[in-house]
């Protein structure tokens, strides 16, 4: 059975637009950065992991730069960490470990998909959460494939594919309307908000979402 | 070593030496422009190349038949480059028509694959199905159908960037070599902010001549010392007080140290 905290996070993610697993993974990566910078970096083991990875990847470094002062305390912590990294840097030794924040995000992504398996279970699953999920936008394509691979019973797989089919049909209808209304013959017809952003949602559905969204900083 | 492979090795060395004297002039021009600007010059050239790739992809590349076939394997671009397309198209073209058309096509393709999966799941209920022999291992069957929805090839924009990185770094080292006859480039490099740490490592991995190795090492040690001094200065000034008092949100020392440690190679829209 999924951890209560994971289910609570799922519930919060389902209230937001977009793929909930993308959102949970983004939050896990960002939370990792905040916790490491506030407290974790002083632990030898944690620092060693960061040093072996040569710091954080480009994407998580961008997130670090955008995190507001209220999230990071002050920026002394960041200055200390990067001061240590520069002092320990050896140009002839390449980074031999993945970005620790990416690792944390991937670990939470796996946990979220296992929680999805539990919540979709026809007997032991959480009925209200399942209902919210069924009414939502479904998963992005990469997470749908990953999620379907961990489901153990056919009933859950049927439920997931039904949610996905409905979500993708709705998105496709909006996107086709958006494209149709670009034709000079129909360009005077007003576009609904769902049609206006349908092309952005389609990109996020097929390619997944990057862990850096407007409105998440500061 | 056989005679043939020995001849080929000699020819490869000769070609390489020949190439050392002939750097790509367009690349040298890009490098000169980048060396005049702040930050790692290799990162800057790569960012510009990334933006150029996305622009060309948006205008023409995505409509090419071979590219469309590739995009079916990679399911469009990766999240990072797809995000770049979303940021790039509205200011350049005024709408999302190009990206929307491409992703509408990919979405239709995904919906068809999903329909196949649903049909297969539905037929499990049909006892006595003529295809029952194929249904003995449902797990394997599902795995096969799901793989048709998974990425099988890397993002073409990432691949192009990877290829260009190799070309660029080699061109940079070649241009610093005395045999290239470009002493101005050495001077410009020495006057610049140097390379980021990942590019420094890649450049050293190419085993430049001892003179160039020494030049790069000396310069990069200066860069690291300057970054450390900037971080120390930030700490001494009391960053928390500045932040509380509404001072500059982003300290130059932090920004420089972070960009130097991670590199900054992918195009992102400029901050507004």
ipTM given for this complex: 0.90
Convert the pLDDT of each residue in A153-200 to its tens digit. 888 899 999 999 999 999 999 999 999 999 899 989 999 999 999 999
Chain B CA closest to residue A63: B258
Decide if B103 contacts A203 (C-beta within 8 A): yes
Chain A CA closest to residue B143: A149
- What percentage of chain B has pLDDT greater than the value 90? 51
Question: Residue A157: which of B121, B227, B254 has the nearest Cβ?
Answer: B121
Q: Is the per-residue pLDDT at B2 higher than 70? A: no
Does the distance separating the beta carbons of B257 and A82 come in below 8 Å?
yes
Substitution target from A176, A199, A201, A214 for chain B, most B beta carbons within 10 A: A199
Q: Is the per-residue pLDDT at A213 higher than 50? A: no
Distance between alpha carbon B78 and the CA centroid of its chain, in Å?
11
Mean pLDDT lowest among A35-44, B94-103, B129-138, B185-194? B129-138
Decide if A54 touches B, using CB distance below 8 A: yes
Chain A CA closest to residue B272: A214
* Calpha distance B82→B69 (Å, rounded): 17
Substitution target from A53, A158, A171, A200 for chain B, most B beta carbons within 10 A: A200
Chain A CA closest to residue B251: A75
- Taking the CA of residue B180 and the nearest CA in chain A, the distance in Å comes to 25
Does the distance separating the beta carbons of B263 and A87 come in below 8 Å?
no
Map chain B to HEC letters: CCHHHHHHHHHHHHHHHHHHCCCCHHHHHHHHHHHCCCCCHHHHHHHHHHHHHHHHHHHCHHHCHHHHHHHHHHCCCCHHHHHHHHHHHHHHHCCCHHHHHHHHHHHHHHHHHHHHHHHHHHHCCCCCCCCHHHHCCHHHHHHHHHHCCCCCCCCHHHHHHHHHHHHHHHHHHHHHCHHHCCHHHHHHHHHCCCCCHHHHHHHHHCCCCHHHHHHHHHHHHHHHHHHHHHHHHHHHHCHHHHHHCCCCCCCHHHHHHHHHHHCCCCCCCCCC
Size of interface A-B (CB pairs under 8 A): 188
Question: Residue B107: which of A65, A149, A175 has the nearest Cβ?
Answer: A175
Decide if A52 contacts B259 (C-beta within 8 A): no
Convert the pLDDT of each residue in A102-112 to its tens digit. 999 999 999 99
* Calpha distance B170→B45 (Å, rounded): 13
* Calpha distance B196→B220 (Å, rounded): 9
Instruction: List the 154-213 stretch of A: residues with Cβ below 8 A of B.
Output: 154, 157-158, 161-162, 164-165, 168-169, 171-172, 175-176, 178-179, 182, 198-200, 202-210, 212
Which secondary-structure segment (H or E) carries A23?
helix A20-38
Chain B CA closest to residue A56: B262
**Under DSSP, is residue A187 helix (H, G, I), strand (E, B) or coil?**
coil
Cβ-Cβ contacts under 8 Å, A74 against chain B: 239-240, 243
Distance between alpha carbon B219 and the CA centroid of its chain, in Å?
25
Non-local CB neighbours of B264 within 8 Å, separated by 6+ positions: A58, A61, B39, B40, B43, B47, B196
> Phi first, then psi: what are they for A75, rounded to 5°?
-95, 5
In this structure, how many other beta carbons lie within 10 angstroms of the beta carbon of residue A149? Answer: 16
Q: Is the per-residue pLDDT at B116 higher than 60? A: yes
Cβ-Cβ contacts under 8 Å, A98 against chain B: none
Convert the pLDDT of each residue in B148-183 to its tens digit. 999 999 999 999 999 999 999 999 999 998 888 888
In this structure, how many other beta carbons lie within 10 angstroms of the beta carbon of residue B14? Answer: 10
Does the distance separating the beta carbons of A162 and B78 come in below 8 Å?
no
Average pLDDT value over all residues in chain B = 83
Averaged over A89-111, what is the pLDDT? 90
Q: Which residues of B202-239 are buried (b: 16+ CB within 10 A; e: fewer)?
A: bbbeeebeeebbebbeebbeebbeebbebbeebbeeeb
Tokens (6 digits) for B137? 């291992």
Q: Is the per-residue pLDDT at B127 higher than 60? A: no
- Taking the CA of residue B140 and the nearest CA in chain A, the distance in Å comes to 11
* Calpha distance A128→B18 (Å, rounded): 71
Chain A CA closest to residue B266: A58
Residue B120's pLDDT band, with cuts at 50, 70 and 90, is: confident
Does the distance separating the beta carbons of B115 and A199 come in below 8 Å?
no
What's the pLDDT score for residue B18? 46
Substitution target from A26, A79, A152 for chain B, most B beta carbons within 10 A: A79
């Amino acid at each position: 059975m999924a951890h209560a905290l994971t289910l609570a996070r799922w519930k919060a993610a389902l209230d937001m637009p977009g793929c909930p697993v993308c959102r949970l993974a983004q939050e896990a990566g960002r939370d990792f950065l905040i916790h490491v910078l506030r407290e974790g970096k002083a632990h030898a083991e944690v620092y060693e992991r960061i040093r072996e990875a040569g710091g954080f990847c480009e994407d998580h470094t961008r997130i670090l730069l955008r995190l507001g002062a209220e999230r990071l305390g002050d920026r002394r912590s960041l200055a200390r960490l990067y001061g240590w990294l520069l002092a320990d840097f050896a140009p002839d030794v390449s980074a031999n470990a993945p970005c620790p924040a990416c690792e944390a995000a991937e670990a939470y992504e796996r946990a979220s998909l296992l929680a999805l398996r539990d919540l979709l279970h026809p007997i032991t699953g959480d009925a209200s959460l399942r209902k919210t999920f069924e009414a939502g936008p479904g998963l992005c394509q990469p997470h749908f494939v990953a999620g379907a691979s961990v489901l153990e019973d056919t009933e859950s797989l049927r439920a997931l594919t039904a949610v996905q089919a409905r979500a993708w049909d709705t998105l496709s209808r909006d996107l086709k309307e958006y494209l149709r209304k670009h034709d000079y013959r129909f360009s005077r017809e007003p576009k609904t908000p769902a049609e206006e952003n349908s092309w952005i949602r389609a990109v996020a559905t097929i390619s997944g979402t990057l862990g850096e969204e407007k409105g998440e900083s500061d | 070593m056989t005679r043939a492979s020995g001849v080929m090795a000699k020819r490869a060395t000769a070609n390489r030496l020949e190439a050392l004297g002939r750097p790509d002039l367009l690349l040298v021009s890009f490098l000169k422009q980048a060396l005049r600007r702040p930050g790692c010059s290799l990162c800057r050239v790569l960012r510009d190349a990334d933006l150029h790739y996305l622009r060309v992809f948006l205008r023409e590349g995505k409509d090419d038949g071979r590219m469309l076939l590739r995009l079916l394997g990679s399911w469009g671009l990766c999240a990072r480059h797809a995000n770049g397309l979303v940021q790039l198209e509205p200011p350049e073209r005024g709408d999302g028509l190009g990206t929307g058309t491409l992703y509408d096509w990919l979405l239709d393709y995904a919906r068809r694959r999903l329909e196949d999966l649903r049909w297969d799941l539905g037929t499990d209920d049909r006892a006595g199905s003529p295809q029952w022999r194929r249904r003995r291992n449902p797990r394997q069957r599902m795995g096969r159908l799901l793989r048709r929805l998974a990425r099988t090839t890397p993002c073409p924009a990432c691949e192009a960037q990877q290829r260009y990185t190799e070309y660029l770094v080699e061109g940079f080292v070649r241009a610093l070599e005395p045999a290239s006859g470009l002493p101005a480039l050495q001077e410009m490099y020495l006057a610049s902010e140097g390379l980021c740490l990942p590019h420094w490592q890649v450049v050293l991995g190419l085993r430049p001549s001892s003179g160039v190795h020494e030049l790069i090492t000396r310069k990069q040690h200066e860069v690291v010392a300057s970054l450390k001094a900037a971080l120390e200065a930030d700490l001494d000034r009391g960053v928390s007080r500045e932040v509380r008092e509404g001072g500059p949100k982003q300290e130059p020392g932090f920004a420089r140290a972070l960009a130097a440690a991670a590199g900054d190679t992918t195009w992102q829209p400029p901050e507004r």
